[in-house]
Amino acid sequence: MENFQQLLRQSVVQHQRLHKRLSAIEKRLPILDLESTVQAADDMDALFTAIQMTDQQILAVLDAEIAAEHSDLIEERLRLGKILQQQYQMILPKLKTRLAGYKAELFKIKHGLQTMGGYTHGATKSGGGIIDTSN
């Protein structure tokens, strides 16, 4: 079944792409800024969604005979899946911590701006007299 083999290859490629993306994120994690962190999380989410859709298609046509014919691709996909799970478990807490830090910083900035907005300049314009310091 050619379609099944294409789906398996697609799944393996998606897993490899996600593995590379997670590795790149992990290397850059200490220097990611807010925008890059959010983009990385969005990219991972999109790849996971694509993998889930491909997996649903695979499961819809999978049976024991087909699985036996394509065991090498299935084993490769399972191997990549285990690697990704380990990577994801290592990176996710770090990303969550980073995002929580950004949220805390944004809260402080917002709170600081609100606090500063409550202050007004104490000087009022008065008659414009000259100060005499000659006494």
Confirm whether 32 is domain-assigned: yes
Confirm whether 20 is domain-assigned: yes
Whether residue 50 contacts residue 10, with contact meaning beta carbons closer than 8 Å, is answered with no
Question: Between residues 41 and 80, which one has the greater pLDDT?
Answer: 80
Least confident segment among 41-45, 64-68, 89-93, 111-115: 111-115
pLDDT value, residue 114: 66
pLDDT category at 13 given cuts 50, 70, 90 is very high
Domain count, the chain: 1
pLDDT over threshold 80, residue 10: yes
Confirm whether 127 is domain-assigned: no
Confirm whether 69 is domain-assigned: yes
- Average pLDDT score, the chain: 79
Q: Which of 15, 5, 20 is nearest to 51 (CA)?
A: 15
pLDDT value, residue 131: 61
pLDDT category at 133 given cuts 50, 70, 90 is low
Confirm whether 124 is domain-assigned: no
pLDDT value, residue 14: 92
Integer CA distances (angstroms), 42 to 13, 21, 63, in order: 19, 11, 33
Whole-number Å distance between alpha carbons of 67 and 3: 13
Task: Give the three-state DSSP class for 110.
Answer: helix
Confirm whether 133 is domain-assigned: no
- Amino acid 94 reads K
pLDDT over threshold 60, residue 124: no
pLDDT over threshold 60, residue 125: no
> Which domain, by its residues, includes 51?
2-115
Residue 55 in tokens:
């997996």
- 14: phi then psi, degrees, rounded to nearest 5: -65, -40
pLDDT over threshold 80, residue 53: yes
Whether residue 27 contacts residue 92, with contact meaning beta carbons closer than 8 Å, is answered with no
Whether residue 18 contacts residue 10, with contact meaning beta carbons closer than 8 Å, is answered with no
Confirm whether 82 is domain-assigned: yes
Confirm whether 126 is domain-assigned: no
Whether residue 14 contacts residue 50, with contact meaning beta carbons closer than 8 Å, is answered with yes
